[in-house]
């Protein structure tokens, strides 16, 4: 049995009672964000609920839920925006809820986001508490030397809640749903539940293109586990479950991508053509680098350019710290792929903070720092950031918003 599986075998590691303080804190932060948005929107004679449920991507998801795929918009410059760019799990859930309840498709998307955000917060706590919480050897210290009373998990959840773009967690978008599936898949990996990990990774692959990050984490962990566990008899139950997890993980993403290729008549890579219609693709960060460089053409925009460079540098720095602190390989692989796909996409530069939202392992070094600080100081820091985040979220959605 591998080290990850041994530590994951303890019962009650992520029980509701242990996670409850983190979830209550998360709910309080999100309530503050929604209240601030409501007041800000009312002052501007706008509907906060419309901003959350019926603008930008949420409109595309609701349309797919109601009418199925097949809608596209041709822009004056010739670009074609097709609804095939949006993966189907969220619209499926919206359609299911709308069929079973009086909710509209937009209402259903909002409810899915609220419930999924709580599931995501719980999953983030479970992963963090597994890595840095109590161990079988004693209740006081985790494997990284951090406090073992659940504080690291608590702070990880609160940090995720107070991210500047945290308001997206309450929108009828797919970020919360994806993060929930990813976090619980990673927890299943860390605890050696390979079939569960593969199934959740498959569902994550039906939610967003970045589901590839979850698939990669499952594959790396399962293959490494097979390689380490040389005592496992060929064809044994443990070997079969790991192989099954490996096979299940990419099914969701592969099925949708292949269906899009068949539907468009453009073969297995047809989904890339759909993304190209949105001017979105993977170019290694070249377009983003040019976007940042263009900011330095004048003094006011140069300040924005400096801010972007500092932001990217902070993200990279956090990942390096994650590596140095010895985070489990599945978390490093997952966070690395999410970060690379977000920063190296060729379009929609304003969306990059939102695309980084699922990369919660990057927050764990900060959570450990807060856990080691005096509780009063940590509470003051998080409280101040929560207020700033709530204000920024309200300003953002009443302005350009998340494309």
The C-alpha atoms of residue 379 and residue 99 are separated, in whole angstroms, by: 43
Residues 197-208, mean pLDDT to the nearest whole number:
98
pTM (2 decimals)?
Answer: 0.91
Which of these ranges, 17-31, 189-203, 269-283, has the smallest mean pLDDT?
Answer: 269-283
Which of these ranges, 133-147, 196-210, 327-341, has the smallest mean pLDDT?
Answer: 133-147
160: Cα separation from own chain's centroid: 10
Residues 367-383, mean pLDDT to the nearest whole number:
95
72 versus 139: the higher-pLDDT residue is 72
Q: How far apart are the first and last CA of the chain?
A: 45
Structure tokens of 52? 């959350």
Which of these ranges, 25-29, 112-116, 140-144, has the smallest mean pLDDT?
Answer: 140-144
Share of the chain above pLDDT 90, in %: 70
Which residue bears the tokens 């949420």? Answer: 58
The C-alpha atoms of residue 90 and residue 112 are separated, in whole angstroms, by: 8
Residues 61-71, mean pLDDT to the nearest whole number:
96
Nearest 10 degrees: Cα torsion 106, 47, 116, 355: 100
**Contact (CB, 8 A) for 142 and 133:** yes
Q: What is the largest CA-CA distance in the chain?
A: 67
Which of these ranges, 109-123, 145-159, 214-228, 309-323, has the smallest mean pLDDT?
Answer: 145-159
pLDDT digits (tens, 9 = 90+) for 287-340: 777 777 777 777 777 787 788 888 889 999 999 999 999 999 999 999 999 999
Among 92, 129, 144, smallest CA distance to 14 is for: 129
Residues 194-215, mean pLDDT to the nearest whole number:
97
76 versus 347: the higher-pLDDT residue is 76
192 falls in which pLDDT band (50, 70, 90)?
very high
**Contact (CB, 8 A) for 83 and 112:** no
Cα–Cα distances in Å, from 345 out to 215, 231, 243, 319, 349? 19, 43, 32, 18, 8
pLDDT digits (tens, 9 = 90+) for 216-235: 999 999 999 888 876 555 55
Structure tokens of 63? 């349309």
136 falls in which pLDDT band (50, 70, 90)?
very low
Backbone Cα Rg of the chain: 21
Structure tokens of 6? 């041994």
Which of these ranges, 45-54, 320-329, 337-346, has the smallest mean pLDDT?
Answer: 337-346
Q: Quote the pLDDT of residue 234.
A: 56
CA atoms within 13 Å, Cβ hemisphere of 297: 6
pLDDT at 127 over 90: yes
6 falls in which pLDDT band (50, 70, 90)?
very low
Compute the mean pLDDT over every residue in the chain, rounded to the nearest whole number: 88
Run of H or E including 82: strand 80-82
395 falls in which pLDDT band (50, 70, 90)?
very high
């Amino acid at each position: 049995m591998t080290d990850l599986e041994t530590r994951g075998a303890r019962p009650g590691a992520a029980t509701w009672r242990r996670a409850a303080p983190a979830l209550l804190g998360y709910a309080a932060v999100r309530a503050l964000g929604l209240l601030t948005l409501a007041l800000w929107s009312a002052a501007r004679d706008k509907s906060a609920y419309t901003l959350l449920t019926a603008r930008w991507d949420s409109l595309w998801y609701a349309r797919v839920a109601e009418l199925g795929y097949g809608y596209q918009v041709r822009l004056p410059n010739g670009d074609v925006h097709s609804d095939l760019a949006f993966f189907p799990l969220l619209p499926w859930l919206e359609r299911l809820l709308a069929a079973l309840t009086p909710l509209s498709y937009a209402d259903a998307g909002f409810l899915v986001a609220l419930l999924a955000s709580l599931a995501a917060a719980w999953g983030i706590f479970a992963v963090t508490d597994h890595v840095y919480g109590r161990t079988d050897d004693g209740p006081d210290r985790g494997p990284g030397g951090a406090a073992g009373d659940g504080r690291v998990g608590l702070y990880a959840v609160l940090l995720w809640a107070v991210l500047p773009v945290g308001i997206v967690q309450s929108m009828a978008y797919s970020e919360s749903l994806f993060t929930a599936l990813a976090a619980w898949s990673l927890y299943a990996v860390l605890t050696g539940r390979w079939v569960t990990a593969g199934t959740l990774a498959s569902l994550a692959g039906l939610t967003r293109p970045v589901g590839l990050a979850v698939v990669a984490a499952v594959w790396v962990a399962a293959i490494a586990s097979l390689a380490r566990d040389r005592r496992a008899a060929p064809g044994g139950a443990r070997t079969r479950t790991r192989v099954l997890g490996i096979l299940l993980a990419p099914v969701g993403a592969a099925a949708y991508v292949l269906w899009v290729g068949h539907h468009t008549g453009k073969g297995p890579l047809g989904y890339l053509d759909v993304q190209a219609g949105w001017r979105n693709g993977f170019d290694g960060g070249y377009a983003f680098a040019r976007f940042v460089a263009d900011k330095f053409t004048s003094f006011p925009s140069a300040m924005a350019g400096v801010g972007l460079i500092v932001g990217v540098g902070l993200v990279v720095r956090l990942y390096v710290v994650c590596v140095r602190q010895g985070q489990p390989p599945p978390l490093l692989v997952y966070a690395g792929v999410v970060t690379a796909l977000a920063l190296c996409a060729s379009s929609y530069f304003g969306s990059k903070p939102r695309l980084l939202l699922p990369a919660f392992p990057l927050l764990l070094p900060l959570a450990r720092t807060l856990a080691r600080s005096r509780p009063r100081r940590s509470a003051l820091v998080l409280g101040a950031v929560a207020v700033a985040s709530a204000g920024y979220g309200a300003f953002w959605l009443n302005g350009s918003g998340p494309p």
